[in-house]
Amino acid sequence: MKKFIFILAVLSSCLFASDELNIDSLFKKQIGLRSITSLSLLSTGNPHSYYIYPNIGVNGDLNVWNDTKQLYLNQTFIYTLTPSFDLLVSGGGNYARQEYNNIVSGAYTSKNTLNFDSLWLGFIYTGESIADFVPQIKFQTAIIQREKTVLQTKNFYLKSQNIEANLRGYSDPVVYSIYTGFGYNAQRKFKIAKIEYGNSIYFGGNLSIILSPKITLDLGAEQRFQTEQKINGIKNSELRSIPTISGGSTYSINQDTAVSVNASLGGSSAAPDAIFGINLWKKF
């Protein structure tokens, strides 16, 4: 998840979405700061709750929900120090409505919560082109994560990391990329239990069709696997398969600002049913 910012997010260290989308600007580098503000609505009819940054995953909440709707707001800043090296910081929170049956009365009940999610720090390294491809490595670590389980909300520090490698290229009028990544989650210690959420491995591809100097059509597909969850060392879930397909469009408003809309659909019972997002790109 990718926090479902399509091909332009994959190219974020090389392409400013507000630039005219042509071969001359696709891999241009510029020293300075840019930001991505993302608002995403996730809905699902399965018993899971999710996180969507840095990618989609099932979180470790021990409650079993009938239905969940989560509205996420995430802010990312990327600062280019050199043409090959970027620093990034990203943080966000969500508003969730989770519905369940009361175990005592049997009544259908809802729970509404406003949550701070996490703050991540990382870097992006862009290498020299290899044949027709530009390689890139992105690493992030969670500085702080605020997580909930039965009867307790707790902050965790430096418990999750994510590394991703991708190759991207251009073939008029298409920008394309393939990527793979690994997400690590250390054990969490709550009052009631020690929980291992499981690690994840994923791979996928994106392509962006340049329709005009200002508009692209963005498509993507991803397959993610999340290992089983354990509570006090005892496995309580199987290996989860989380496939998604996505589509959207990016429009360049002016030289400094662009907006993109996107939607993704889940392809298994462990995946969210749908995510709709809108992203605001800004360079300074």
Predicted confidence (pLDDT) per residue in 27-38, tens digit: 455 678 889 999
Q: Report which of 63, 105, 68 is spatially closest to residue 192, judged by C-alpha positions.
A: 63
Q: Give the H or E element holding residue 201.
A: strand 200-210
* DSSP-based three-state secondary structure for 62: coil
The predicted model scores a pTM of 0.85
Where residue 132 falls among pLDDT bands split at 50, 70, 90?
Answer: confident
Q: Compute the distance between CA of residue 122 and CA of residue 143 in angstroms, rounded to an integer.
A: 10
Percent of the chain past pLDDT 90, that is, above it, reads 47
Higher-scoring residue by pLDDT: 50, 142: 142
Start-end of H helices in the chain = 7-10
Q: Report which of 194, 152, 40 is spatially closest to residue 50, judged by C-alpha positions.
A: 40
**What pLDDT is recorded for position 23?**
41
pLDDT of residue 18 exceeding 60? no
Residue 169: strand pairing partners: 176
Q: Compute the distance between CA of residue 54 and CA of residue 124 in angstroms, rounded to an integer.
A: 13
